[in-house]
Amino acid sequence: MVINMKKIKLAILFGGKSNEYTISLHSAAAIIKNVPRDLYDITLIGITESGEWLLYAGNEESVYNDIWHKEKVSPVSLSMDDKFKGFIKYDEENNEYEKIEIDCVFPVLHGRNGEDGTVQGLCQLAGIPFVGCDMTSSAVCMDKELTHIVCEMAEIKTAPFMSAVNSSSLNIKLLYENAYEKLGLPMFIKPANAGSSLGISKIRNYDEFEKGIMVAFECDKKVVIESMVEGFEIGCAVIGNDKLIVGEVDEIETKNDFFDYVEKYTQHNSKIHCPARISTEMQNKAKEIAKSAYKALGCKGMARIDMFVTPDNKILLNEVNTIPGLTDLSRYPSMLKKIGIEYKDLIVKLVELAMEK
């Protein structure tokens, strides 16, 4: 006897009003290409850089190449009606609308207005399950200062840091003197709420500090200033709600000052080693720290935990990415593939975790 299982109505949300819009398209294209169609009825919802939500019925290549919005699209909005879970499609010419029922949303949105709790909050209001961390966890993890504060309170060590908010009363010279006294040189300036290493500068003197502050403030009104950590960066892919699975630990080898935006997506002067070139003992230690950070920050579904390894074998938390890169070659799926979780299985697992929350 053949049992017909009802397919899950899955909405894949891509693009976004963010300076990481293009990266989101590339991650989404990989999801669209690999999602098992025998398990899911797929609805594609693209968000333009100006913030329009559009129903799209094309293919992943148009998404990847950012021409999807030039094809046939229809405006949609997320229903906030308790009696209906899904999207409302608008036919403006005929003044009609259509309901599109959804069981689960997969936000493939990197950076602001997608990874920072905004979309997660909308889904929570709408009562629709969604892949990844909830609104609060997403917002805290997106803010590097709050991530550091929560993890330090949980006795998870981070690099020494301080923060500053852009205002008319901000004295950059005095801020530099305070940072120099507390953190020394070199130091790093980072936008508090940004991903993909956008707006980050390595600082060796006051002139670089003044320029770096201005660059970071272009991305966010708040910056985090950190002392430079000697050593190299590693990462852990974590998946799960209560029961956690940690992928293989990877390592970033780079000839640049840091693993910047260009290197993340070209790797001209960098290389990813998976597994990381560290001892089994250090790998296990990194995995335990990753799980501790994941729990302390209230993460659900997935996150990539980035850390530093110092020359004296100490591990310091760097940051937490609640919607890490999800292309076929991205670090997060690559780390999980090393422990036997293939890309299609990863998609299924993430949706299952979303539905059980």
Q: For the domain made up of 8-130, give the CATH fold.
A: Rossmann fold (3.40.50)
Give which of 328, 326, 308 is closest to 318, Cα–Cα: 308
First to last CA, the chain: 32
Give me the phi and psi of 157, to 5 degrees please: -70, 140
Give me the chain's average pLDDT, please. Answer: 93
| Residues 291, 238 contacting (CB under 8 angstroms) | yes
Q: For the domain made up of 161-227, give the CATH fold.
A: Dna Ligase; domain 1 (3.30.1490)
| Residue 253 scores a pLDDT above 90 | yes
Worst-scoring range by mean pLDDT, 56-60, 130-134, 142-146, 260-264? Answer: 260-264
Q: For the domain made up of 141-158+231-356, give the CATH fold.
A: D-amino Acid Aminotransferase; Chain A, domain 1 (3.30.470)
Task: Name the segment(s) of the chain with CATH classification 3.30.1490.20.
Answer: 161-227
How many whole angstroms separate alpha carbon 96 and alpha carbon 60? 28
| Residue 282 scores a pLDDT above 70 | yes
Q: What's the predicted TM-score (pTM) here?
A: 0.92
Q: Distance of CA 196 to CAs 24, 59, 169, 179, 302, Å? A: 11, 26, 29, 24, 17
Q: What is the full DSSP assignment across 175-205? A: HHHHHHHHH-SSEEEEESS--TTTT-EEESS
Task: Name the segment(s) of the chain with CATH classification 3.30.470.20.
Answer: 141-158+231-356
pLDDT of residue 196: 58
